[in-house]
Amino acid sequence: MSRPLRLTLLGATGSIGQSTLDVVARHPERYEVFALTAFQRVDALADLCRRFQPAYAVVASEVDGTRLRSLLEGSRTTVLHGTEALVAVAADAEVDVVMAAIVGAAGLLPTLAAVNAGKRVLLANKEALVMSGGLFMDALARSNATLLPIDSEHNAIFQCLPGGYRCGEAAVGVEQLLLTASGGPFRSWTLESMRSATPAQAVKHPKWIMGRKISVDSASLMNKGLELIEACWLFGLGPDRIRVVIHPESIVHSLVQYEDGSTLAQLGNPDMRTPIALGLAWPDRIAAGVGTLDLVAAGALHFEAPDEVRFPCLRLAREAFRQGGCAPAMLNAANEIAVAAFLDEKLAFTDIPQVIERTLTELPMMAAEGLPTILEADRIAREHATRLLATLH
């Protein structure tokens, strides 16, 4: 094999970040860590830097940068801070692979920079693609970047598409995609009981251990809404050709249905190290530390239609995609504000879709003319959603 691939890991201290480093540590001959980034968890990042010896470590603020520098004194790691530094380590000429695992809109600029710089981009940060879909896929088509989906559903679909398929192309012979969803912790709750759901109940996902924001999104089904938009862009299909199916066991990660009547699925234990390993090694397969699926132990697998009355976020996401322009960016921004307020116990769980729907209907629509317009739409929607919080509490 040639030299090890150099990796920048955006969001190293998060759930995906940790799973990525777990896979990387199993294959020291294949991967070398070039940069690790985190928001505020300086001590956790310092530990990771001692272990993986990256050339660069990036945090958000100057104060945290100074603290990290003193913790890492005498090491080979250069400490940087701020968005420009994130963009620099994502686009550095020495980097081969960028794992985009920052949560939310904060990941957009470095992820886009990695695409523009022609990297192999492992996309976990779905919000970046939801916000800027057209622009993002145009950048991909213009650059020689390779985009590999890490979200388990999209990774499953990618695996079920013909060999050689590249994201952004129209897949030949595909009738529709089936996106599976666990249904989250409130799958069988009434609307009434969801009204008083607590953050602790919402983040207690039945099948996956994930960051707090995506866990709340899974409980509201906004995660599936964002994933519907993500799938439309990645696989070049309209929302009418992508169906969501509730599958509580989270064993079948998603499916592709072909025009000839074939349905292809990817199955596995629910563990993000599988899609991460596929992204890191593609087109090879490497050990990920994930146990072999035992179908007999798994037993019966169930599938049901989603209930868009109890879970309106799915409908809101579909409508935002159809509306186009900056609507998906505004949907995402309002959702980020509403979820943060819910986690802060300042908003009822069932008011999350209200904040999003009102933000989208009360603000004028904007065409997605370029990155500045998308960032402006994100800002305006955040401001509006924040104002709405006061009226709902």
Give 16 or 256: the residue with its C-beta nearer to ligand NAD: 16
Give 108 or 140: the residue with its C-beta nearer to ligand NAD: 108
Residue nearest to Mg ion (CB): 151
Under the criterion CB under 5 A, does residue 151 sit at the interface with Mg ion?
Answer: yes
Under the criterion CB under 6 A, does residue 11 sit at the interface with ligand NAD?
Answer: yes
Under the criterion CB under 6 A, does residue 5 sit at the interface with ligand NAD?
Answer: no
Q: What is the DSSP string of 66-132?
A: HHHHHHTTTSSPEEEESHHHHHHHHH-TT--EEEE---SGGGHHHHHHHHHTT-EEEE--HHHHHHH
In whole angstroms, what separates CA 357 from the centre of its chain? 22
> Left, alpha or beta for 324 (phi > 0: left; psi -120 to 50: alpha)?
left
Under the criterion CB under 6 A, does residue 102 sit at the interface with ligand NAD?
Answer: yes
Give 110 or 306: the residue with its C-beta nearer to ligand NAD: 110
Over its C-alpha atoms, the chain yields an Rg (Å, rounded) of 20
- Total residues interacting with ligand NAD, rule: CB under 6 A: 26
Shortest CA distance to 302 belongs to which of 207, 231, 205, 222? 207
Q: Which of 12, 87, 178, 368 binds ligand NAD (CB under 6 A)?
A: 12
Q: Cβ of residue 243: shortest distance to ligand NAD, in angstroms?
A: 19
Under the criterion CB under 6 A, does residue 101 sit at the interface with ligand NAD?
Answer: yes
Under the criterion CB under 6 A, does residue 124 sit at the interface with ligand NAD?
Answer: yes
Q: Cβ of residue 104: shortest distance to ligand NAD, in angstroms?
A: 6
Residue nearest to ligand NAD (CB): 14
The answer to whether 19 and 46 have CB atoms below 8 angstroms apart is no
Shortest CA distance to 357 belongs to which of 375, 330, 322, 391? 330
Residue window 152-181: x/- pattern of binding to Mg ion, with contact defined by CB under 5 A: xx----------------------------
Q: Which of 64, 127, 230, 378 binds ligand NAD (CB under 6 A)?
A: 127
Residue 261: CB atoms within 10 Å: 7
Q: What are residue 121's DSSP bridge partners?
A: 98, 147
The answer to whether 272 and 99 have CB atoms below 8 angstroms apart is no
Determine the Cα–Cα distance for residues 386 and 383; give it in Å rounded to an integer.
5
Which residue's structure tokens are 């070398």?
32
Residue window 14-43: x/- pattern of binding to ligand NAD, with contact defined by CB under 6 A: xxxx--------------------xx-x--
Q: Which one of ligand NAD, Mg ion, none is in contact with 106 (Cβ closer than 5 to 8 A by kind)? A: ligand NAD
- Strand locations in 150-286 (E): 174-181, 242-246, 252-258, 263-267
Name the site residues for Mg ion (rule: CB under 5 A).
151-153
- Residues in the site for ligand NAD, rule: CB under 6 A? 11-17, 38-39, 41, 60, 101-103, 106, 124-127, 151, 208, 210-211, 213-214, 272
